[in-house]
Amino acid sequence: MTLLLEKPARAPAMTDKAPYWTMRRRDELAGWLMVAPQLAGIVAFVIVPLGLVVWYSLHEWNVLAGSFTFIGADNYAALADDQQLGPVLRATGLFSAGLVVLNLSLALFLAVLLNQKLRGTVVFRTLFFSPVVVTLVAWTIVWGFLLQDNGGVNAFLDVLGIDGPNWLRSGGTAMASVIVVQLFKNVGLNMVLFLAALQGVPAELYEAARIDGASAWARFRRVTVPLISPTILLTMILTIVGSLQVFAQIAVLTQGGPGTSTTVLVYYLYQQAFQFHHFGYGATLSLLLFLIVLVLTVVQWRMRRRWVFHEN
């Protein structure tokens, strides 16, 4: 591999002109060759499809009927009139907000617990992390089984004398159930990131705060949180963007129901495009999803400047 690029450098050195293949030029070529697969992939599988999404959204496209007609902004008008859109966005927001708040709090709580000087924390760390490596659909199926009306969760509640609801079939609890299932699946990932951040906080700072008479809570609030704020922001971005992509959990647990209470945007988009074959309208929904991801990312990136205490 090395020789491939070395050769031309030596060959044409007979004239008094500088050789064409200078180190600079070879670096240029090597740089472009090395990024070429990634660049080609992004153009083919991200940029072009994104352009096509815009193009499709201007068309009425029914795959079954084989029709593909330019209709201008009609899909956008339909979007504005869509009675379902309100509930769908509400479900999406509820899922994302609920998941992010619970996930970050629990992850930080577990990380602080594991950061105590106790024997055996590695065992607990392994246990908390293990759902991350369990097949997503497998994890979802077990919880679906546990959350059946006559399933494990209600059976245990029954033993305690509590009459549990039909978790996945009642409007009030279906969304909460989906959030909880996803929470325990992936909270270990954020926990590990927090744990690494906590271990990076210099012990002297705690010592100094202690000498100044700061309580445990004050030390956490004034020393720990500011120092790990870059990690908080990072996990927040990853968790929010991830939460907008939730699909398998909904498809397996509730199919968007009951009613539309758990129909999040990606699930709605899947239904419109691949179950009702409205590709044009589906593309319009895709653009909406893209805009949401874009706005959230930009907002968080801006927050970074004001809110994150230090950056290296």
Partner 1 sequence: MKTRPGMSPRLKVLLYGVLLVCCVPFVFPIWWMATTSLKPLSEIFAFPPSPLPGSPTLDAYRQVFELQPFGRQYLNSLYIAAVVTLGTLAVSALAGYAFARIRFRGAGIVFMIVLTGLLVPNEVTIIPLYRMFDTLGLVDTHWPLILIPMLGAPSVLATFIMRQFFITLPAELEEAGRVDGLGRFGLFWRICLPLARPAVGAVAIFTFLHSWNLYLEPIVFLSSKSKFTIPQALTQYVDAYGGPMWNTQLAAATLSALPVLIIFVLAQRQFVEGLAQTGLKG
**Binding positions for partner 1, 67-126, rule CB under 8 A:** 110, 113, 116-118, 122, 124-126
Shortest Cβ 289–partner 1 spacing (Å): 5
Total residues contacting partner 1 by CB under 8 A comes to: 102
Q: Which residues of 40-53 are buried (b: 16+ CB within 10 A; e: fewer)?
A: eeeeeeeeeeeeeb
> Does position 128 bind partner 1 by CB under 8 A?
yes
Shortest Cβ 27–partner 1 spacing (Å): 5
Shortest Cβ 41–partner 1 spacing (Å): 2
> Does position 46 bind partner 1 by CB under 8 A?
yes
Select the span of 43-51, 75-83, 163-171, 219-227 touching partner 1 (CB under 8 A): 43-51
Shortest Cβ 94–partner 1 spacing (Å): 18
Is the CB of 8 or the CB of 16 nearer to partner 1? 8
**The CA-based dihedral angle spanning residues 291, 182, 42, 67, taken in that order and rounded to the nearest 10 degrees:** -60
Shortest Cβ 105–partner 1 spacing (Å): 13
> Does position 175 bind partner 1 by CB under 8 A?
no
Neighbours of 84 (CB within 10 A): 12
Cα–Cα nearest to 182, from 193, 190, 172: 190
> Does position 196 bind partner 1 by CB under 8 A?
yes
Interacting residues with partner 1 between 147 and 166 (CB under 8 A): 148, 150-152, 155-156, 158-159
Q: Which residues contact 20 (CB under 8 A, 6 or more apart)?
A: 8, 12
Shortest Cβ 184–partner 1 spacing (Å): 5
Helices (H), 115-151: 121-133, 136-146
Select the span of 76-84, 90-98, 166-174, 227-235 touching partner 1 (CB under 8 A): 227-235
Token pair, residue 255, equals 């199919």
248, 136 contact by CB (below 8 A): yes
Interacting residues with partner 1 between 243 and 282 (CB under 8 A): 244-245, 247-248, 251-252, 266, 269-270, 273-274, 279, 282
> Does position 174 bind partner 1 by CB under 8 A?
no
Cα–Cα nearest to 269, from 257, 261, 259, 279: 279
- Helix, strand, or coil (residue 210): helix
Shortest Cβ 83–partner 1 spacing (Å): 22
DSSP 58-73: TEEEETTTTEEEE-TT
Q: How many angstroms separate the CA atoms of 20 and 11, rounded?
A: 10
> Does position 303 bind partner 1 by CB under 8 A?
no
